[in-house]
Structure 1
Amino acid sequence: MSRRILITGGASGLGAALAAAFSARGDRVLVTDIGAEAPAQLPAGASYLKLDVTSQEDWDAARDHVAAEFGGLDILVNNAGVAAGGRIEYLDLEEWRWITEINLFGVVRGCRTFTPMFKEQGSGHLVNTASMAGLVHPPAMSSYNAVKAAVVAVSETLRFELHPFGIDVSVICPSYFRTNLASSLRGTDPLMDGTAKKLINKSKIGAEEIAAIVVRGVDKRQPLILTDKPGRRAYWAKRLLRPLYDRQMLDFGTKLRRGAEQAARATSGAGRPAPGAGTEKNHTKEAP
């Protein structure tokens, strides 16, 4: 049976892979993203709508569009998000506000906007993209870890809150996978750019494989969708082997310090960026 699905952040990355995977099954997919124009590779049968997840006006327009064109909605995938990282002294409060507005409040706006429709239907499925960083918390990623952990908490809360109304809630928690998210990483910490890109680029799994796992998890109405072996190992290590988890994270922090010290020696006298300093960032354009 064809389902009606709206995906935010669907123009590239995991969102585009999810749009393709759902469309290939015959579902009616509405791809949304911040760009005014539809992506060139829009899946066959899918449609496009501009949606900035920080704008309640855009969310209201999306709800009205869905009601008029689809007659309702079966699945909302809150996938739009951005990446940021860095040691705490390099993260200014504006960057915290920026990532929170998109990664957390974008999800909250989506859930608030479509929950009344789902309640009226007596059915619906909220699917929120968090991250393994929402479950395990490596160093030098405090802002990203915090907002993704909040998405996990919101999703778990809504699962219990909305169950009596026939509404399912799932949260997706992938770890690093090959995507263009690395190119959109924001932050002024010189250590993080290379570290994050290395972790993403060395991954053996891509967005298409993640999307296939997510689709199966949504079909099964899984509340927590873990998408890869490294992520599952980290999750269970934290739950069942806490001393091992702590040791791994402490070791990671030590490696980051050594990397920073090596970088400082290599650039000694060359004007190493001061904590919190950096070029002006664009806080309005969402990354895939």
Structure 2
Amino acid sequence: MNTGFGNLTAISLAKEGYPVIATCLLPDSVKELESLDIPNLTPIKMDVTSQQDIDSVFDYVQEKHASLYGLINNAGINHGFYLELTNIDHYTNTFNVNYFGVVRCCKTFLPLLRKTKNARIINISTQGIFMPVPGSSSYCSSKSAMKTFSDCLRMELLHTGVSVTVITPGVYATPLLDRRKHAEEIFDSLTQEQRATFGEDQIEHYRGFFNKGPRAAAKPENCVKQIVKVSTAKRPPMERLIGYDSYLFWYFYYILPTFVKVLIFRVVWFILFLVIGKNKRK
């Protein structure tokens, strides 16, 4: 829970009086949360790609609390770009965090969740499962896999009293959305052949798209309020779409015929290129 939804959700739940163990990838994030001096908030370093780290947190929770009321799987990365411009490691790393990280945590902490009445697992997905985004195939596919895993797990746990909720936020201004640094690394590493294939103008359009993306999103606090609401609900929903864009656009797009989706995408992408190109010339 270094930044974004995880950080704000942990702080909000702790301030409402819930004991929260906030796992952080970076030691600096642990120190930042500790500096807030919130009595119910315990930050701990944990890498969701490391089973050893997860087991250490499990041992801590078991020793201090004996059981667990809720598990929120929020860790996520969005690496890679168009398939032809992306190293395969970007795909494996993304799945290792976004999908296998969720699987590891659910499998490890389920014994503690089973000990608590009305316990819940909350997995954070993305609108990309409804509208796959070009240049984010590793991210969208990993979240789609996580969504299917969550649906299967929900059925497996029906008799246990442990619920599984998938929260699908719209586009919010979190660090995950800001891919500028990562994108620059990809663009700077392109071979001459790749540059010739895509063209310098196209590559510059991509740069502009990445540089504009994070500014046009809603504040994450609006989404965090809903995550907290689901986390503390007496009967958590199986799914929750958050944000008007999820309801009115992403899901609507999802149920359209494929040929209509392609047509809409062509129009939207053309308009984006026009706007980015216009801003670039100013």
Superposition TM-score, scaled by structure 2 size = 0.80
Does the alignment pair 1:160 with 2:155? yes
Q: CA 1:140–1:35 in structure 2 vs 1: closer, same or farther (change >3 Å)? A: closer
User: Tell me, what secondary structure is at the counterpart of 2:101?
Assistant: helix
Instruction: Determine the C-alpha separation between the residues in 1 that align with 2:120 and 2:27.
Output: 27
Instruction: Determine the C-alpha separation between the residues in 1 that align with 2:211 and 2:119.
Output: 36
Higher helix proportion: 2
Structure 2: runs of 5+ lacking an equivalent: 188-202
Q: CA 1:89–1:15 in structure 2 vs 1: closer, same or farther (change >3 Å)? A: same
- Residue number among 170, 178, 181 corresponding to 1:175 in the alignment: 170
Deviation larger for 192-201 or 20-29: 192-201
The equivalences for 1:260-279 within 5 A come to: none
Q: Deviations over 1:46-80 (max 9, x none)?
A: 01111011000011111110011122111111111
Contact persistence 1:134–1:147 (CA under 8 A): no
Alignment-derived partner of residue 32 in structure 2: 40
Which amino acid in the other structure matches residue 225 of structure 1?
Answer: R
The equivalences for 1:4-153 within 5 A come to: 10-37=1-28, 38-42=30-34, 44-45=38-39, 46-121=41-116, 123-153=118-148
**Superposition deviation, residue 258 in structure 1:** 7.4
Instruction: Determine the C-alpha separation between the residues in 1 that align with 2:214 and 2:120.
Output: 29
Alignment-derived partner of residue 223 in structure 1: 238
The equivalences for 1:239-250 within 5 A come to: 239-242=254-257, 244-250=260-266
Which amino acid in the other structure matches residue 13 of structure 1?
Answer: G
Instruction: Determine the C-alpha separation between the residues in 1 that align with 2:272 and 2:225.
Output: 33
Instruction: Determine the C-alpha separation between the residues in 1 that align with 2:169 and 2:207.
Output: 20
Q: CA RMSD in A?
A: 2.6
Does the alignment pair 1:198 with 2:198? no
Instruction: Determine the C-alpha separation between the residues in 2 that align with 1:20 and 1:70.
Output: 19
**Superposition deviation, residue 162 in structure 1:** 0.8
Q: Deviations over 1:18-39 (max 9, x none)?
A: 0122112211001111123524
Q: CA 1:80–1:171 in structure 2 vs 1: closer, same or farther (change >3 Å)? A: same
Which amino acid in the other structure matches residue 250 of structure 1?
Answer: R
Which amino acid in the other structure matches residue 165 of structure 1?
Answer: T
User: Tell me, what secondary structure is at the counterpart of 1:140?
Assistant: coil
Contact persistence 2:177–2:213 (CA under 8 A): no
User: Tell me, what secondary structure is at the counterpart of 1:172?
Assistant: strand
Contact persistence 2:130–2:251 (CA under 8 A): no
Q: Percent identity?
A: 24
Does the alignment pair 1:237 with 2:228? no
Instruction: Determine the C-alpha separation between the residues in 2 that align with 1:232 and 1:85.
Output: 27
Which amino acid in the other structure matches residue 240 of structure 2?
Answer: I
Deviation larger for 58-67 or 173-182: 173-182
Instruction: Determine the C-alpha separation between the residues in 1 that align with 2:206 and 2:166.
Output: 26
**Superposition deviation, residue 254 in structure 1:** 4.7
Contact persistence 1:59–1:113 (CA under 8 A): yes
Contact persistence 2:91–2:138 (CA under 8 A): yes
Alignment-derived partner of residue 271 in structure 1: none
